[in-house]
Structure formats: C-alpha cells, structure tokens
Amino acid sequence: MIYEDISSAGTSIWLDDLSRSKISGHDAHSLPSRVGKAGVVGVTTNPSIFNSAISKGTEYANDIQSLRSSTVESVIQKLTTDDVRSACDLFADISRNSLDGRVSIEVDPRKAHETQATIDEGVVLWKIINRPNAMIKVPATLEGLPAVTDLISRGISVNVTLIFSVERYLQVIDAFISGLEIRASNDQEIASVSSVASFFISRIDTAVDERLKANSSPKAKALLGRAAIANAAIAYEAFENVLRSPRWKALAKKGGHMQRPLWASTGVKDPAYEDTRYVIELVAPHTVNTMPQATLDALLDHGNYRGENLSSTYERSHAIIAQLAEVGIDLREVTTYLELDGVNKFIASWEELLANVSQVMKS
C-alpha cells in the first residue's frame, strides 16, 4: 500500500482536517477509518478548517444554542477544544508509542503579532484540552518565536505554523531548542515535549509561478512549479545539519526529541501539476506530511512513490533557487508576502467564524 511505503520511508501521514462528524463517523472519510485503512497518525487544524466545520456542520447547532448566554469567543473555544480533545483520545494509543498521534489547535490568529497574548492563550488551551498529545499551533511571526520558546519551556508541545522561508525556519528551530534548553537547565524532563515546524509548500509555487509567467523568457518558463519543492529540500538540509550539531546532541542525550519538519499546504493548486507531487516528492525520514482530504484520497487512489529521498535533491534544489534569482525572483520578498498573507487569511476565516456562530446564537 502506498501509505505503508511512505511511512516506512520516514514520513508520517497526518490529515489536515477535523470536524465532529469525522471524529464520530464510520464512513470511509471518518477519522477511525482513516487511521485503520489509510495510515493517518495525526491531525492538524487551522481557523479555516474550524470555520468550515462549525459553520457548515449541523451537529454543532445544539451546543451553540445551549451556550447562548456566553460570549461568541468562549463558544468557539468550547467547540474547538472539545473536538480536539476527542481527536486526542482517538489517537491516544498511537501517541503513547511514537511522536505521532498529535492533534493541533491554533491560537486566535488575531494575536499573531502579540507575544504575551499568544503565550497566555496557548497555556489556556493546553489546560482546557488537558491531553498530552495535543499541540498548540503558533504562527512563525517574529513575535511568535519567543512565544514558542516560552511554551516549550513550560512543557507544552507546539506546532509552529506559517513557515515559508528557510531563514525563518532556522529561527523556529532555534526557538524550539532554546525552550528545551531552559527546561534542561532547570532540571526538568524534556522527553515528553513534542514539536513540529509547519513549512508551507503549494503557496510558494502559486506565488512564484505567477511572477514567472509574467516573464516571457524560456528560462523563466522552465522554472514553473519548481520553487516550492526546492525550497523545502533546502529546509530539510538545514534540519539534517541541526541534527548533527553539538547543541542538539547535548539535548538528545537528555531525552529530547527533535522538532520534525511538517509539510503543510500540500494540496496542489495548479491542475497542470500531478495532484500528489507535494507528497511523493517530499518523502524523507523524520518528517510529517499533513494532507487535505482530497490529496489523501488522490494518494491512496493513484499515488506512486518512486523511492527517492529528499536528501538526494540538495544540489539540484540549490541550483533551482539560484536560477530563480537569475530571472528576477526575489524569494525573500515572496516569502515575506506569504507570511503576511497567511496570517491575514487565517484572521479573515476566524472573523467569519465569529460572525457565523454569533448569527446562530441569535437565531
């Protein structure tokens, strides 16, 4: 089976989707079915996913009505943390025996540029869910980085999200390791702390391809669809370098588990590209690929893992990034824009969710 091949090669399959119906359902798209028949060993969520689930899911209506005397923010907190707790229970056995079995919940994206507010909400969400296999999702903004360090130092597992550039990814790794070092210096255990770094993929190609198509040169056209995977490969190279560093080895001796790269935004946006490319071409040891349902379905239906490891593409990937610069693509400008755009899109989804739940509370 394709999912067994990918898992054996070191990439864990997580689902980028969550709703109450998926947790309790028994059809082919339910979480219990995905765990048993598709190799799914974790779940990620974001404000857009919760907006879709709660706004369209009739199973939430009674709970919303019963909480009409509460604020809309507290209603959303109750609904989302209940779902994440239930999903954590579903994956409890997996999490006891591996780094997988994790379920992420994101802090309010409106706090993405507020360090202390992010820390405070992360602590609250962790306590409410009260499950060791939960993960608090923190945006990788400059203000989010010290929040990552603080939460990790408290023993709270973190999913650092909205990473687009290798430069920011290195800062994320440093923030994570710094948190573990604080715990270790205080003689606190570090083996129970887990983290992933969510490196976004398809949005890179979408943004870069738009710029390449505005360039009429054959060299530019030849680079279409090549930026995202090359960028991810260079990030993975950085990950491997950190694994070999004396700084990390010191923590590993104390039981620390390295923060794994997680490939996010792996649904293909351009129909001209193979719909499983952001899975098949990103297989590597110690990684996670979180897929939207459509991508997982495509993988199970016709995915073909050819056995190539991401680490074999480093030279080619560096060459691609250099060629992009030669045709005028400023990858730093692209990734800076995508981080701002990503935060804004999550804020828009969150505000839409607030409005939708508020409307149901008034009905």
Domains of the chain: 2-202+257-311+336-362 (3.20.20.70)
- The C-alpha torsion from 195 through 303 and 269 to 350, rounded to 10°, is -40
Position 114 pLDDT exceeds 80: yes
The pLDDT of 78-97, averaged and rounded, is 96
Q: Which residues are catalytic?
A: 137
What tokens does 223 get?
A: 């680079």
pLDDT on residue 284: 96
The pLDDT of 116-127, averaged and rounded, is 98
Classify each residue of 44-58 as buried b or exposed e, where b means 16 or more C-beta atoms within 10 Å of its C-beta. bbbbbbbbbbbbeee
- Residues 339, 140: Cα–Cα separation, whole Å: 8
Residue 176 pLDDT level (bands cut at 50, 70, 90): very high
Q: Is 77:128 a contact under the CB 8 Å cutoff?
A: yes
pLDDT on residue 220: 97
The pLDDT of 226-237, averaged and rounded, is 98
The pLDDT of 153-177, averaged and rounded, is 98
Position 57 pLDDT exceeds 80: no
Position 363 pLDDT exceeds 80: no
Q: In the chain, what percentage of residues exceed pLDDT 70?
A: 100
145 vs 27, higher pLDDT? 145
In tens, the pLDDT along 314-347 reads 999 999 999 999 999 999 999 999 999 999 999 9
Position 11 pLDDT exceeds 90: yes
Mean pLDDT, the chain, integer: 95
- Residues 146, 150: Cα–Cα separation, whole Å: 6
- Residues 45, 111: Cα–Cα separation, whole Å: 17
Question: E strands of the chain, at which residues?
Answer: 11-15, 40-43, 102-106, 134-139, 158-163, 195-200, 260-264, 287-291
Phi and psi, residue 351, nearest 5°: -70, -35
Helix axes 115-129 and 144-153, enclosed angle (nearest 10): 40
Of the candidates 46, 29, 131, which has an alpha carbon nearest to the alpha carbon of residue 90? 131
What radius of gyration, in Å, describes the C-alpha atoms of the chain? Answer: 20
Give the number of C-alpha atoms closer than 13 A to the C-alpha of residue 71, restricted to the C-beta side: 3
What letter would DSSP give residue 282? T
Q: Is 361:60 a contact under the CB 8 Å cutoff?
A: no
pLDDT on residue 125: 98
- How many other β-carbons are positioned within 10 Å of the β-carbon of residue 229? 22
Q: In the chain, what percentage of residues exceed pLDDT 90?
A: 87
pLDDT on residue 47: 87
pLDDT on residue 8: 95
The pLDDT of 342-362, averaged and rounded, is 93
Residue 307 pLDDT level (bands cut at 50, 70, 90): confident
In tens, the pLDDT along 179-215 reads 999 999 999 999 999 999 999 999 999 999 999 999 9
